[in-house]
A = this chain, B = another copy of it.
Amino acid sequence: MIFVNGVATDSIAATDRGLAYGDGVFRTLRAMRDRPRWWSRHYRKLARDCAALAIPCPSDAALAEEVARAVARSGDEVVKIIVTRGSGPRGYAPPQPPSPTRIIMTTAAPVHPEEFARSGVPVYPCRTRLSFQTLLAGVKHLNRLENVLARAEWDDPAVPEGLMLDEDGNVICGTMTNLFVVERGNLVTPSLARCGVAGVTREIVIETAAAQGVTCRQEPVSQARLLEAQEALLVNSVIGVWQIKMYSGRSWEPGTWSARVREWLDEERS
């Protein structure tokens, strides 16, 4: 099911700047039995990302209404929301005023082997590096070729994710997930000041940790630091949380943190 500017259709204008330049942002969230999970957080993040590109964000009410029409009455789906700067004349200069395009697409939620959640996942060490761009760091924009190149490096279905380093060799994130490492009972997640996407699930973990009295620092995470961690977790809005089982020659036994973080996520209502 696809809605473009509120109309059920399967196409967008060929002149849309989302296609021409990746001039837009997106969100991917889960909807279970027609309720989009963590809607208000996802909307707030969408609005912040639009603001980073100076794209007027559609209203919460209008988007929520369209998402409600798009999701199935039953079942478990993934909702993708794209907001672009819309069409305009040829050339990089943004049209003034822009007429943003909003796209809502739903697909069945992916089915992963149960053992991914239970005992963790092997993770591929991607060679594609994330470049530094402070103007775009943290924003989930449509310029995602680095993620595409990284994800194209392996195609083993038993390996559902790969980790990406930045130019300096620090670990930043998975191709589609954020990373947390556990050190002496505390959490650390890579600082995303220069690259990477600051996802909503990451935000929930950071905030819940604080509320639970668990220290969670945002710092550079070197590969050595990750390999010495007690546990390492991958999170996003679709998969929830997976522990890393194997990465770059190190393996981890199932620990206690993925169940703990899953509980945090299950209890989050906003």
- Which residues of A are interface residues toward B (Cβ below 8 A)? 2, 4, 9-23, 26, 28, 53-54, 78, 80, 82, 84, 89-94, 96, 103, 105, 107, 110, 128-129, 131-133, 135-136, 141-152, 155, 167, 175-176
CA distance A176 to B91 in the complex (A): 8
Contact assessment for B15 and A105 in the assembled complex, using a CB-CB cutoff below 8 Å:
yes
CA distance A54 to B155 in the complex (A): 15
In chain B, what residue has the closest Cβ to A87?
B10
CA distance A17 to B152 in the complex (A): 14
CA distance A12 to B4 in the complex (A): 12
| Choice from B80, B82, B141, B146 contacting A145 with Cβ under 8 Å | B141
Contact assessment for B21 and A155 in the assembled complex, using a CB-CB cutoff below 8 Å:
no
CA distance A90 to B96 in the complex (A): 32
State whether A176 and B105 are in contact (beta carbons under 8 Å apart), knowing that A16-B19, A21-B148, A135-B128 are contacts in the complex. Answer: no
Contact assessment for B145 and A21 in the assembled complex, using a CB-CB cutoff below 8 Å:
yes
Q: How many copies does the complex hold?
A: 2
Residues of B within 8 A of A175 (CB): 92
Residues of B within 8 A of A107 (CB): 89-90
State whether A92 and B148 are in contact (beta carbons under 8 Å apart), knowing that A11-B13, A14-B105 are contacts in the complex. Answer: yes
Residues of B within 8 A of A150 (CB): 92
Closest 3 CB pairs of A and B: A22-B22, A92-B151, A143-B143
In chain B, what residue has the closest Cβ to A142?
B22
| Choice from B78, B84, B147 contacting A21 with Cβ under 8 Å | B147
| Choice from B9, B21, B93, B152 contacting A93 with Cβ under 8 Å | B152
CA distance A80 to B14 in the complex (A): 11
CA distance A143 to B13 in the complex (A): 18
CA distance A141 to B148 in the complex (A): 13
CB-defined A-B contacts under 8 Å, sample of 9: A4-B14, A10-B13, A11-B12, A20-B26, A89-B107, A94-B152, A131-B133, A141-B145, A142-B145
